[in-house]
Copies of this chain bind each other. A is one copy, B any other.
Amino acid sequence: MPLIEESDAASEVRAVYDDIKTTRQVDRVNNFWKALAVHPPALRRTWESVKEVMAPGALDPLVKEMLYVAVSVTNGCEYCIASHTAAARAKGMTDEQHGELLAVVGMANETNALANGLAVPVDDAFKTS
């Protein structure tokens, strides 16, 4: 798949790249966006959604990055694990926090399998939450 470099980007793509750099206060756009730029409507729509979802809100940005890592690890998405682990570190994730994050993700994948395998019925107490 081609990557659309900033110097080769049409104005529609360039505008998204510029917004990514401004929003994230970085000086380069990472490969995910350069690959997605082959489909400009998908680039714009995906960036607008990511920008909105990952903005500070009721959850802080580092927690959001760690949630992103948890999903990416569970799906085994190599690119996403690399990029969101880097983003979490840039937002202050320590080695110890990374270790605990992976421990929770590993344990959750284990007990998800056990709950499936045992066909555990949902407790009444959990049905109203």
Contact = CB atoms under 8 A, between A and B. Distances in A.
Interface of A: 1, 3, 28, 30-32, 35-36, 38-39, 41-42, 45-46, 49-50, 52-54, 57-59, 63-64, 66-86, 89, 94-123, 125-127, 129
Contacts of A3: 121
A104 B64 contact: yes
Chain copies in the assembled complex: 6
Nearest to A50: B107
A67 to B, nearest CB: 5
A58 B97 contact: yes
B82 A129 contact: yes
A39 B29 CA distance: 31
Contacts of A42: 99, 102-103, 106, 114
B129 A86 contact: yes
A73 to B, nearest CB: 4
A64 B59 CA distance: 13
A75 B39 contact: no
Given A119-B78, A125-B86, A49 B49 contact: yes
